[in-house]
Chains A and B, each alone.
Chain A
Amino acid sequence: DTAVSQTPKYLVTQMGNDKSIKCEQNLGHDTMYWYKQDSKKFLKIMFSYNNKELIINETVPNRFSPKSPDKAHLNLHINSLELGDSAVYFCASSQGRAAPVNFGQGTRLTVV
Chain B
Amino acid sequence: QKEVEQNSGPLSVPEGAIASLNCTYSDRGSQSFFWYRQYSGKSPELIMFIYSNGDKEDGRFTAQLNKASQYVSLLIRDSQPSDSATYLCAVNPPDRNQFYFGTGTSLTVIP
Give the interface of A toward B (CB within 8 A). 33, 40-45, 48, 55-56, 90, 97-98, 100-106
Closest beta carbon of chain A to B38's beta carbon, Å: 8
Known A97-B97, A98-B31, A98-B32; contact A40-B103, beta-carbon cutoff 8 A: yes
Report chain B residues within 8 Å CB of A106: 42-43
Contact partner of B86 among A33, A41, A56, A101, CB < 8 A? A41
User: A90-B43, A106-B43 known; A101 and B104 CB under 8 Å?
Assistant: no
Question: Which of B12-20, B44-52, B61-69, B70-78 has 4 or more CB atoms under 8 Å from chain A?
Answer: B44-52
On whether A56 and B98 interact (CB within 8 A), knowing A40-B103, A98-B31, A98-B92, the answer reads yes
A88 shortest CB reach to chain B, Å: 9
Q: Which residues of A contact B25 (CB under 8 A)?
A: none
Taking CB atoms, residues of chain A closer than 8 Å to B97 are 48, 55-56, 97
Q: Which residue of A lies closest to B86 (CB)?
A: A41
A42 to B42, CA, bound (A): 14
Q: Measuring CB to CB, which residues of chain B are less than 8 angstroms from any residue of chain A?
A: 31-32, 34, 38, 42-46, 49, 86, 88, 92, 97-99, 101, 103-104
User: Shortest beta-carbon distance, A46 to chain B, in Å?
Assistant: 10
Closest Cβ–Cβ distance, residue B40 to chain A (whole Å) = 10
Verify A45–B49 contact, CB threshold 8 A: no
**B88: chain A residues within 8 A (beta carbon):** 43
Give bound CA distance, A103 to B44, whole Å. 7
Q: Which residues of B contact A44 (CB under 8 A)?
A: 101
- How far, in angstroms, from A44 to B98 measured CA to CA in the complex? 10
CA distance A103 to B36 in the complex (A): 10
Known: A41-B104, A55-B97. A105 touches B34 (CB 8 A): no
Contact B46 A97 (CB under 8 A): no
Whether B103 and A100, one on each chain, are in contact in the complex, defined by CB atoms closer than 8 angstroms, is no
- Residue in chain B with minimal CB distance to A38: B103
**What are 19 A-B pairs with beta-carbon distances under 8 A?**
A33-B98, A41-B86, A42-B101, A43-B44, A43-B88, A43-B101, A43-B104, A90-B43, A90-B44, A97-B92, A97-B97, A98-B31, A98-B32, A100-B49, A101-B46, A101-B99, A103-B45, A105-B42, A105-B43
